């Protein structure tokens, strides 16, 4: 074959490609019209019977070089693309996405704002164990000028035989200490039935990792007038995490803070693997503030400070970490909670970094 001949054939291929492109666009026009008509008539977009008839017609007339299955595959892709073309645009753009809402959503917790560039701290014990325990942590937090305290009253534990939390009693303790010292309270609720009750005690409802896809719970917290701290599921992809937030916002509540808390991987050196790149991805894809929980992601006290520094440097809106007056006797997460002197040092070092980053 001479080079000339090859050039000629290649030119022909280019022409055919353009013809296919032209036909595809012409087809898209008709698809669009069909979509409009279906909308008018209230007919479902996806019609498998019609799709089967179209495929059968194509296969009946196919006599070329390609295998029937290949032709079927190519046309199936065209059908799929056409179906997407008919999709209602509003269904493709999620309410939590930057596309739908380009400005940052600012979540205001009694005057402390999340999402406006200031970097906050959410600290407190893993679980509420007693009034004295919560108060001791709260006093230390106050000393550092921090006012958003976390504490678990309903603890979602892996084993049913582990401490399950004090329940409503725990919420009452948190509220009492919160009122006494002027702190806002973040606490996890695990059942849709307890959401209403929680409204009397907490300032932020936490939806934990194990409940990220508890759709009833997400819908219920989507209807309340309180900020929600939504944690990423144990093995959830970023897309699944974003869709979980969409469940909340779709019910009307846009006061959502996303929390990266590590995901399950094959790595055993840490309890979970902190997905640090999730922070800029979530901030790029959504308009919601993003918190990094360094306690549950690492499961290691010695890694709290370096991971918190990384989170701040990468642009997290807040750091979450657990503090206990005597971690050795804590009823949960005793390996990774900080004691009070460690907490003071932790905050001091992060404040220094904050000044450097500013």
Residues found near Mn ion in the complex (CB under 5 A): 126, 333
- Phi, psi of 8, deg, nearest 5: -60, -45
Residue 188, interface with ligand PEP (CB under 6 A)? yes
**Binding residue for ligand PEP (CB under 6 A) from 283, 287, 296, 324?**
296
Residue 124, interface with ligand PEP (CB under 6 A)? no
Residue 261 binds what, of ligand PEP, Mn ion, none (CB under 5 to 8 Å, by partner type)?
ligand PEP
User: In this complex, which beta carbon is closest to ligand PEP, that of residue 170 or of residue 325?
Assistant: 170
Structure tokens, 248: 């909340």
Residue 194 binds what, of Mn ion, ligand PEP, none (CB under 5 to 8 Å, by partner type)?
none
The residue range among 101-109, 130-138, 203-211, 213-221 that interacts with ligand PEP, by the rule CB under 6 A, is 203-211
Residue 289, interface with ligand PEP (CB under 6 A)? no
Q: Closest distance between Mn ion and the C-beta of residue 330, in Å? A: 9
Give Cα separations from 195 to 69, 216, 221, 299 (angstroms). 53, 11, 7, 28
Q: What angle do CA 122, 152, 214 make, to 5 degrees?
A: 100
Secondary structure of 127-158 in HEC code, one letter for each residue: ECCCHHHHHHHHHHHHHCCCCEEECECCCCCC
CB 345 within 8 A of CB 311: no
Spatial separation of the C-alpha atoms in residues 310 and 156, rounded to whole Å: 28
Of 138, 163, 168, whose CA–CA distance to 153 is shortest? 168
3 state SS of 10: helix
Q: Closest distance between ligand PEP and the C-beta of residue 334, in Å? A: 13
User: In this complex, which beta carbon is closest to ligand PEP, that of residue 286 or of residue 297?
Assistant: 297
Q: How many residues bind ligand PEP (CB under 6 A)?
A: 11
Spatial separation of the C-alpha atoms in residues 295 and 166, rounded to whole Å: 21
The residue range among 28-36, 177-185, 204-212, 300-308 that interacts with ligand PEP, by the rule CB under 6 A, is 204-212
Question: Which chain residues interact with ligand PEP by CB under 6 A?
Answer: 126, 152, 156, 188, 208-210, 231, 261, 293, 296
């Amino acid at each position: 074959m001479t080079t000339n001949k090859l050039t000629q054939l290649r030119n022909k291929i280019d022409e055919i490609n353009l013809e296919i492109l032209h036909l595809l666009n012409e087809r898209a026009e008709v698809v669009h019209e069909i979509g409009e008509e279906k909308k008018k008539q209230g007919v479902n977009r996806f019609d498998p019977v019609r799709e089967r008839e179209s495929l059968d017609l194509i296969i009946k007339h196919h006599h070329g070089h390609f295998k029937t299955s290949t032709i079927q595959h190519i046309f199936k892709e065209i059908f799929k693309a056409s179906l997407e073309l008919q999709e209602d645009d509003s269904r493709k753009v999620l309410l939590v996405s930057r596309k739908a809402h380009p400005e940052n959503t600012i979540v205001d917790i009694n005057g402390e704002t999340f999402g406006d560039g200031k970097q906050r701290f959410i600290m407190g014990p893993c679980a509420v164990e007693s009034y004295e325990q919560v108060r001791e942590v709260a006093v230390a937090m106050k000393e550092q000028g921090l006012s958003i305290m976390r504490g678990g009253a309903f603890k979602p534990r892996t084993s049913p035989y582990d401490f399950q939390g004090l329940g409503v009693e725990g919420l009452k303790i948190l509220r009492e200490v919160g009122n006494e010292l002027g702190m806002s309270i973040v606490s996890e609720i695990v059942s849709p039935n307890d959401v209403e009750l929680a409204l009397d005690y907490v300032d932020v409802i936490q939806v934990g990792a194990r409940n990220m896809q508890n759709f009833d719970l997400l819908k219920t917290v989507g209807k309340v007038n309180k900020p929600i701290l939504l944690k990423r599921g144990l093995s959830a992809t970023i897309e699944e995490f974003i869709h979980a937030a969409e469940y909340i916002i779709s019910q009307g509540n846009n006061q959502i803070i996303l929390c990266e808390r590590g995901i399950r991987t094959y790595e055993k050196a840490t309890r979970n693997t902190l997905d640090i790149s999730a922070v800029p991805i979530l901030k790029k894809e959504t308009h919601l503030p993003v918190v990094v929980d360094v306690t549950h992601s690492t499961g290691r006290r010695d890694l709290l400070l370096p991971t918190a520094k990384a989170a701040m440097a990468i642009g997290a809106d807040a750091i979450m970490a657990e503090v206990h007056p005597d971690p050795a006797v804590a009823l949960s997460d005793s390996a990774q909670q900080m004691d009070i002197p460690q907490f003071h040092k932790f905050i001091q070092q992060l404040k220094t970094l904050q000044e450097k980053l500013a």
